[in-house]
Amino acid sequence: MHELSNLSLWHSTMSADEWGPGRTALGADLQVDVAIVGAGYTGLWTAYYLLQRDPSLRIAILEAQVVGFGASGRNGGWCSALLPMSLDAMAAESSRSQAARLQTVMHETVAEVGRVVAAEGIECDFAHGGYLSLARSQVQLQRERDHVAHLHSYGFTDDDYRMLSADETIERCGATKVVGGAFTPHCAAIHPARLARGLARTVERMGATIYEHTPVVELSPRSVRTHLGTVTADVVVRATEAFTPALPGLRRAIAPVFSLMIATEPLPESFWQQAGLRDRSTFNDGRHMIVYGQRTADDRFAFGGRGAWYHWGSRIKPEYDRDERVHGLIHRTLREMFPAIGDAEITHRWGGAVGAPRDWWCSAHFDRSTGMASAGGYVGDGVGTTNLSGRTLADLITDTPSELVSLPWVGHRSPKWEPEPLRFVGINTMAYLPIGADRHEEHTGSPSKWREAIMNRLIR
């Protein structure tokens, strides 16, 4: 068993061949064309598309731990078209047509990931079964209707987003209390750690070199400094997501927000005949406190949610990935949605941090004058978005004309997070307001407008 197999369900279910023999650390100073900091999805996709554009590029990827150690290996396994910022926010910064175009490109991105994993032989349990949002109260149902109508106002149709009746929804997913739902085909379930490790092997075959156990201590134009040597490069790509605050000068650029998960033992076919999810659609429901789940390829539930505490000074520690209170709440929520799960064993409990910018905008940047590039801020919607990041950064760096480089997230500048203690108070308020809003809706049957107004205000 690999020493990091306990990181998550995904890491524990990889074979010795999938883990591979491990990679060496940087051993001396190095000069390359492109230095990428971070061997998660953003860094790996960027290397992949750069080498497609120009196979002669010398690319070094520097990783503090191992490939897929962070959110790329531990997430809920949704390769979705979701973006953290709203269509209206994108339209305000550009135009309604540009906002719709970025969303359409995200639809296409899900298929692009599927194309690459098939072409490169990456076995990551990719199942393009769509995303189902369950409405389990009349308030949630109205919120789903309003959301789908809003998407249609931007030109999307039922082919992209459509409402389902209660019977149609239950046929797809047999959760309790279902009164309807919404469905989009633009999502796939994956095994995230297998995608990360498979993509790493692919970029190495293409010519990139990955150095593991090589923490970066400083980034500067055309230079990356580690304790094991300095890498000089024409282009430096920062792909550090939730770990960004550890770098000098970037403490307030991104806040690490924790999301925790559980997984059951494999469940029998008799259970799945009732629970559904035959196409392995990813699913959640319309509550404010985010939950998310999938039926894995080996017939488990992998189910997660927010609600974990933000830690002072944007700290990330291994013990923050395990919170008995939050894991217990996630387990109770899963059993409430699917009572037939009964006393099925919870075999895995884990978590990790995702990167949240102050305004909830993901973005991609390249400054040719300094050679500095970056992408991130996905707030948990990164499995698909990182692929778009990689293609976009590759086009920007190689000066390849494309529509991607003019999309409204390119070059967006998020404000810095407030200093402590304001950051601590604000983020933890955001973590708990949804709980109160959901309780209000459950008890009164009506939305909590003041809580919703505060939540919307805090992420603007």
DSSP conformation letters of 193-255: HHHHHHHHHHHHHHT-EEE-S--EEEEETTEEEETTEEEEEEEEEE--GGGGGGSTT-TTT-E
Which H, E and C letters describe 408-437, residue by residue? CCECCCCCCCCCCCHHHHHHHHHHHHHHHH
39-69 in b/e form (b: 16+ CB < 10 A) is bbbbbbbbbbbbbeeeeebebbbbbbbbbbb
Q: What are phi and psi of 334, to 5 degrees?
A: -65, -45
**Are 213 and 229 in contact, with CB atoms under 8 Å apart?**
no
Q: Cα 172 to the chain's mean position, in Å?
A: 24
Confidence of residue 460 (pLDDT cuts 50, 70, 90): low
- On the CB side of 395, CA atoms within 13 Å amount to 15
97-129 pLDDT, tens digit per residue, is 999 999 999 999 999 999 999 999 999 999 999
- For β-strands 30-37 and 78-80, DSSP reports them as unpaired
Give the SS3 label for residue 106.
helix
- On the CB side of 153, CA atoms within 13 Å amount to 10
Average pLDDT over residues 227-252: 97
pLDDT of residue 2: 84
Fold assignment, 124-186+256-356+420-458? D-Amino Acid Oxidase; Chain A, domain 2 (3.30.9)
Q: What is the DSSP string of 282-325?
A: EEEES-SS-EEEEE-TTS-EEEEE--PPP-GGG---GGGG--HH
**Are 325 and 319 in contact, with CB atoms under 8 Å apart?**
no
* Helix, strand, coil percentages for the chain (3-state, nearest 5): 40, 20, 35
**Are 98 and 407 in contact, with CB atoms under 8 Å apart?**
yes
Q: What's the mean pLDDT when you consider all of the chain?
A: 95
308-331 pLDDT, tens digit per residue, is 889 999 999 999 999 999 999 999
At 65, list the tokens: 């731990």
Sign of dihedral through CA atoms 317, 319, 324, 325?
A: negative
Count CB atoms within 10 A of the CB of residue 137: 18
Fold assignment, 5-76+192-254+359-406? FAD/NAD(P)-binding domain (3.50.50)
More confident: 181 or 427: 181
Average pLDDT over residues 413-442: 88
326-373 pLDDT, tens digit per residue, is 999 999 999 999 999 999 999 999 999 999 999 999 999 999 999 999
> Which percentage of the chain shows pLDDT scores above 70?
99
**Are 254 and 361 in contact, with CB atoms under 8 Å apart?**
no
Name the nearest CA neighbour of 81 among 133, 121, 141. Answer: 133
415 pLDDT above the threshold of 60: yes
pLDDT of residue 458: 59
Domain ranges of the chain: 5-76+192-254+359-406, 124-186+256-356+420-458
Confidence of residue 154 (pLDDT cuts 50, 70, 90): very high
pLDDT of residue 253: 97
Q: Cα 321 to the chain's mean position, in Å?
A: 16
Name the nearest CA neighbour of 140 among 175, 102, 101. Answer: 175
Q: What is the pTM of this model?
A: 0.96
Which residues, in sequence order, are CB contacts of 448 under 8 Å at separation 6+? Answer: 436, 437, 440, 441
> CA 433 to CA 451: how far, in whole Å?
6
